[in-house]
A and B are shown apart, each in its own frame.
Chain A
């Protein structure tokens, strides 16, 4: 039966650099047509990349590009495994040029590299559109990035035109999978049922090891074999769009329905309408069945027509986040940590909205407003790390929080130690949906 194997070698920028090796070995050993995808763009990653590009016009693509693609580039090109990644980030052309240079350094020759265009709408040509979509939420002076989530059709077009590597910026994560499937099977572009299936294959792959036992282990309840050496996922997709999820032999992790179900539902809203640029997928009739060791079949996903509007994500500068910590140990540690928090709160007054965590007693489960902490009687914690945090538009105003925690060394309760402070710029994201006709996408083959 005609199949396409798609391996996933990355789930975010900075994912494991040894991920791709076993996946590519497995793809080669199968003898089947195959593609390798890299997902490297979380919501904020692209804005950070845009800031990098402002600093250096040649930068702005994934900083780990060479580390993640380098180890397998030769083997992929020699074995006709198409590489598709959104590692172009804010500078797909820069990434394409770097990959061409890398191929040359490795003595491979010149690969055919395609660049996907049409996602970056941060320029003046699109300002009116952003105004239309966001209204008052658009702060034109502080835009860091603005990108449309594009689908996989241009990726498919590029592969059909002979691209061996496809470099995208912002595309929906599943588009990295939809693209090569559309190209390989030559599905009709309005075959919504198959496109919907392809979207969910992409959804299973886009978080890498989350489909193969990563983010799953819970001692005594959910054991994951050889967990330090997880194999990244491979989808074996057939002509109908159904697939088997598996992983390379000899790697750690496990592929069983429980694992795949967690990933299937991850970051989903209504399971009957998972809206992506390529199709609206419906998993209400979907089944996941174990069909062998580390093999799970996904069937009966359905799809309907793509949405008329595309998501546009705008990133603004979002002020500054200050975080500071100090530890207390031994008798009355929690009481001294609470007293330290009171001192900082008293000194800051109403200048900053401050959150208090007593790490070791009550932290991430509580609320920013501090109601749960205030309503909970002090316990007998003997190893407590006080963390306070606050955000402000102005850097110096936010930094005041850190200075107050520093001063606890000499002015606070007895026995405080291990102060750490951090002051970081924040990004804020705002989304709107605009008619897809406004944002054509195309590929360009690097000369």
Chain B
């Protein structure tokens, strides 16, 4: 992309984000968006960060990970621990340190999980990450200085709409930026054909690790935001169901499709609000969504239909 075009696009994007931010902030300030809806907006932002970062490993790198909630947990607990024990600093600085610490810790753990699995094929990686998520949960349940099964309480409520909004914007931009660099191309090439990628001189394990820690870092940030929004965190929140929920966002939004992921994160944040009290139904819908999307994606008739629609829409544009 030419530099000038890029800066023009970037300026438009950022000013768009800024206008949206100012608009929403005003609505929140004057109570037109009440606390309940602000809460939904914050959850939406956190889910965007989670979905977009998972998209890097599952969508672009093509490795199924089932432990994203585990990285979120690491980030949440680490950030909460920092902000509870770091006194005497202004809130903003404290929160920044806590979030960065949470992200870095998640990144470190991500590297530790990824390293032994680098030589393995996708199926095993899925299982390892699943196992890892459960191990993290079990360890947290047994760590009394982090509250154990009772939950870790008294975390300062630093997270507000502004933090979530801008961190979500940063995550999206960083992800898009990574994928549009020479590193992103290589990551996608590994998804398409590992053997060909290696035969083109690519050290594939290095890039798997890169995608992994990149995703883990942002999952950790999301965890930090979540902890400082809820003010109390419990290990069981970060279980496999949460990982699956994030996966559904990625699958629904389209693997390797960042804007799709954002929309899917929005849908899946609002949907449970309509299904309050019937939580079982929610998991059932997720399950059906996963199966149907996969079956449709691989069905030639369905693909042909999509293609025809797209062509029709394009035709309509021209006339």
Q: Does A pair with B?
A: no
- Using CB atoms and an 8 Å cutoff, list the residues of chain B in contact with chain A: none
- Using CB atoms and an 8 Å cutoff, list the residues of chain A in contact with chain B: none
